[in-house]
Structure formats: C-alpha cells, structure tokens
Amino acid sequence: MNVDEDKQSDSDFDVVDPTQAEAVIEQKSLGERIRRLRMKRSMGLVELGKKTDLSASFLSQLETGRVVPTVRNLARIAMAFQKDLSYFFRDEAPITFRILRRQERVRLQRSTNANANFVTDSLSALISDGSMHPCIADFRASGEEITFQPRPFEGVEFTLVMEGRLTLVSENETRTLETGDVAWIDAVRRRRYTCEAGQTARAMFITRHRRN
C-alpha cells in the first residue's frame, strides 16, 4: 500500500478511536476547572448562568462531568471569567515527570479497515509545548510494499528502527535502515520510508518543529 500525500484515496486517512478522544477530554477535568473558577469568584450557578446565558442546571451538569461542553459554551464560560479558551486545555502546573500508559496511547490507522497495513501510536500527550511529536509506527506484512511519506515542514525528524528494515528515500539519496539504526533528516526535504512486501517493521519517529 503506497501512501502518497498528494494522491490519497478516500479510505486513506487517519482514524482516531472515539473512546480515546473521550479519555483525553476527561483528563482535562473541564468541569472541575469551571467549578474552581466559579468558587474562586464566590459566584453561584445562577449568577454564572446569567453571565453566560446558560441554565444553572446545565452548568451543574458540566461541573459534575455529566455532559461535555461544546466549544461555543466553553468560550462563553471563559469570557465570563476573562480567561482565554486555551485555559481549559493547558497544563495547570509545570510537569517535570509524566507517564503515558500503553492503553492511553492514541492509535491511528491509515484507513477504516481493521487490518490496515500502517498503524501509528501517538506519544504526543507526553509533550506539553507541542513542538515535538513522537510516535511509534507499525508496518504490517502485506502483499505489496508499504510506504509512509511524511509531509515536509520546517524542523527535523529522527527515526529509530526498532524492528525489521526500512528503506529511506530522500530526494536523490537512498539509505537502508536496519534494526537499531537511527536517521536524522532536515524535514523540509521530501522523503519516504518503505517496508518491502511481505516484511514487517516497527520504527519510532520523532519530529521537532522549528520555532519562529
């Protein structure tokens, strides 16, 4: 299966597990953050409801986690407290140590087919500033070669081949990466990673975007 960023079929897109998306929302404790803001201002639910044009009962359900706020409603609440919308999603305190459990990883597959040949586990939840994006990619055995072609961007890309063998083609250069090999590449270059037909491989990709 060839993955071409310019000519992908309708079935070639990343699919996120809905239950994992819900877990991300729960981890941010949106309701608890709303409640803490309200209590800090000594504000009742009725008063907050008047400021946001939301009912007190609905706000109560938000705070207890029984419903998830829409972006529109969350923006209303943020404005009532003179906060930026990002307040509800940023880390509340600097984190110097963090663990992402295997079951918490966001898994993406390159189609809606459960037997997709190219699957990635995103590890970005560990990175607070969003400038670095690590992931583990599985190239699964197939009757055809499997190609991963990342989009160019301003920054760098590191690749560690954990299992198997990959062929890296970047412009006019071709390199074979064996198990344990690490590659560094300027990510503005067009590039692709290929696993031979019938073979499997696993690699860790770490991309770091250049800050302006």
Distance, CA of 117 to CA of 135 (rounded, Å): 16
0.85 surpassed by pTM? no
pLDDT reported for residue 212: 61
pLDDT reported for residue 184: 96
pLDDT reported for residue 190: 94
CATH number of this structure's domain 29-88: 1.10.260.40
Return the sign of the alpha-carbon dihedral for residues 19, 133, 180, 196: positive
For residue 107, the one-letter residue type is R
Place of tokens 């590191």: 158
Query: pLDDT under 70 in the chain at which residues?
Result: 1-28, 91-96, 110-116, 128-130, 212
pLDDT reported for residue 104: 76
pLDDT reported for residue 177: 97
- Contacts of 25 by beta carbon, 8 Å cutoff, 6+ apart: 68
pLDDT reported for residue 3: 45
**17 close to 113: Cβ distance less than 8 angstroms:** no
CATH number of this structure's domain 98-209: 2.60.120.10
The domain spans of the chain are: 29-88, 98-209
Tens digit of pLDDT for each residue in 146-187? 999 999 999 999 999 999 999 999 988 999 999 999 999 999
Report the first-to-last Cα separation within the chain, whole angstroms: 36
Distance, CA of 107 to CA of 122 (rounded, Å): 6
